[in-house]
Homo-oligomer: A and B are copies of this chain.
């Protein structure tokens, strides 16, 4: 899954994980542009995360990439994931200890909302200027200077609600 769920008026829609090819292409372009190495391992890890329907744990990825004759240790996956997160190519879902791909660039300070479906397990990513603005005001009132924030919502996605209604 990792569909995009829409965002505030004016924001670009984007597809998170909808197309592994697009994610890989973005990773490659982005690394070239920044003079960083898009190594085979990093590519494979990104590919594994992007190909999955649901958030993948580091150990899931390690298992996916391991075959008889080639073992990929979790620690290697963690390093690749750290790199990919720094570059904004994957996100970590704190409430699940798992990772999802991200195919679009986030603006600086732009808030992201993760929509985690408890039925199908998929995760959508969206953003909201409304939430961002409200949060900014709230933090200001509290005298708190933010550096990073996570907003994860668990519930039922539209598709699963529809399926439930029909079935």
Residues of A within 8 A of B (CB): 5-8, 94-95, 113, 115, 117-118, 124, 126, 128, 130-135, 137-139, 141-158, 161
Contacts and interface: CB of A to CB of B under 8 A. Distances in A.
A132 B30 CA distance: 35
Contact of A158 (B6, B144, B155, B156): B144
Given A138-B130, A142-B158, A152 B149 contact: yes
Contact of A144 (B94, B124, B138, B150): B124
Given A115-B142, A143-B158, A144-B155, 14 more contacts: A5-B144, A94-B94, A113-B138, A115-B139, A124-B144, A128-B137, A130-B137, A131-B131, A145-B155, A148-B153, A148-B155, A149-B152, A149-B153, A150-B152
A161 B143 contact: yes
Contact of A94 (B7, B95, B135, B142): B95
27 contacts: A5-B142, A5-B144, A6-B141, A7-B138, A94-B95, A94-B152, A95-B150, A113-B138, A115-B142, A115-B144, A124-B144, A126-B138, A128-B134, A128-B137, A130-B137, A131-B134, A131-B135, A133-B134, A135-B151, A139-B153, A142-B158, A143-B157, A145-B155, A147-B154, A148-B155, A149-B154, A150-B151
Copies of this chain in the oligomer: 2
B142 A6 contact: yes
Contacts of A126: 138, 142
A155 B146 contact: yes
